[in-house]
Amino acid sequence: MSGVPTSFHLGPLVFHTYGFGLAIAAYVCYLYARRRLAHADFDVAPFGKFAFSLIVAGLLGARLANVATNWSYYAGHPARWIAVWQGGLASFGGIALGLPVGLYLQRRWWPRSSLAAFTDALVPALIAGWALGRVLGPQFMVNGGGHLTHQWFGIHYAGQFGERVPVPLLQGAEDAILWLALLTIEHVRSHRRVGVVTGTAMIVWGLVRALDERLLLGQESHSGSLGVQIAGLVLALAGAVLLVRQLRVGRSTPGQLVDPRAPVTP
């Protein structure tokens, strides 16, 4: 029997802990991201619409990627396609769809601002939200654990036999450490070049995610193990290119090209 509850009841209503936890993490991430953007002098008036669009795109992309990479499980069972309360959100699928949507909306609602400055303000909040989401989301889903283990830190997960490596908790800790590292970069480099925080996050998160998949999950993952590893390496490589490019700039690039608080007509 699992020691991790996957649902709870309030009267006749059933709430799945997985989705409830992700909702909490998303809301906290939204508040934190909005605060960071305001602190960076961005106009936050359209940020609610931006965040909602990004969440919808991320969830849709994550679900579609999971279904596509596990088609043998979903084929012939349409009801399984929408059963997200049982897990089944592929991180890189969410990024693959959320990224172009985010880039489009950033240019639409903040066209006179630097994209690198925008992502530097947003990415630490996304990493912090991801850390919280791993602890409050996948930690409480069906099949949430990694490989079998006989070590003291093993946890029983619903839908899986034996004690498992608590991958969601480990990934939450990894992301929390990365978040603290990004904040340190922000404060230590008072004249930092824009894009450095974003590039660093891409490199570290991509490599760590690929290693987690390789060492802790492997073929027990429901997100296409090889695809996740390749996507992680591609993300890290893109981050390295961005970081090298920004560090080679001869002088710090202004974060904003004009006053970011100026109203923008959609």
pLDDT at position 74 is 79
Query: What are phi and psi for residue 156, nearest 5 degrees?
Result: -80, 130
Query: What are phi and psi for residue 230, nearest 5 degrees?
Result: -65, -45
Q: Is 81:88 a contact under the CB 8 Å cutoff? A: no
pLDDT at position 262 is 44
Q: Is 197:185 a contact under the CB 8 Å cutoff? A: yes
164 beta partners: 148, 155
Q: Is 169:217 a contact under the CB 8 Å cutoff? A: no
pLDDT at position 19 is 83
Rounded Cα distance between 31 and 39, Å, is 12
* Domain layout of the chain by residue ranges: 7-247
pLDDT in tens, the chain (266 residues): 455 678 877 778 777 888 888 899 999 999 999 999 999 999 999 999 999 999 999 888 888 887 877 777 777 777 777 776 666 677 778 888 899 999 999 999 999 999 999 999 999 999 999 999 999 988 888 788 888 899 999 998 888 888 999 999 999 999 999 999 999 998 886 556 789 999 999 999 999 999 998 888 755 555 467 878 888 999 999 999 999 988 777 444 444 444 444 444 44
Q: Is 174:208 a contact under the CB 8 Å cutoff? A: yes
pLDDT at position 264 is 45
Q: Is 60:99 a contact under the CB 8 Å cutoff? A: no
pTM, two decimal places: 0.82
